[in-house]
Amino acid sequence: MEQLYTVNQLAEELGITPRALRFYEVKGLLAPNRVGNNRVYTKRDRARLKLILRGKRLGFSLAEIREYLDLYNVNGGVEQQKNLLKRVQKRLKDLAQQREDLEATVQELRDIEEQVNNTLAELKTAAKDS
């Protein structure tokens, strides 16, 4: 028998609110099963939620997170696998570009930080000499 999680159990385990779980359901990112009137989540749902939370933490939009989750749902034939491969390759290319852009931005900010620190040091020295 598969382990099932209630809304409260899963929310508590992953450090989120039950309301956040419901939000992801409304957005179509999670689709829990029902046992009577209660929503229950499987280990697969738990894994999806962990991916959602990781994507959110990394700054991805819900649309990007949905696309990422869809990659895990492809179990089809050759054409589906080729499509999956194209999507994965495009995503890798996009992420590589984002990494380059981020590294450039970090370097620019470090340069600005160094310039400001130098200016402050010069102003401090000038104030002492006055």
Mean pLDDT of the chain: 88
Residue with tokens 């040091």: 121
Nearest residue to 98 (alpha-carbon basis) of 86, 72, 90: 90
Q: Residue 5 domain-assigned? A: yes
Bridge partner residues of 35 (DSSP):
38
Q: Residue 73 domain-assigned? A: no
Q: Indicate whether 77 pLDDT > 70.
A: no
Q: Average pLDDT in the 58-85 region?
A: 75
CATH number of the domain within which 14 lies: 1.10.1660.10
Confidence of residue 6 (pLDDT cuts 50, 70, 90): very high
Q: Residue 87 domain-assigned? A: no
Q: What is the pLDDT of residue 80?
A: 66
How many folded domains does the chain comprise?
Answer: 1
Contacts of residues 20-23 at CB distance under 8 Å and 24 or more positions apart, as own/partner, are 21/49
Residues contacting 91, CB < 8 A, separation 6+: 67, 68, 71
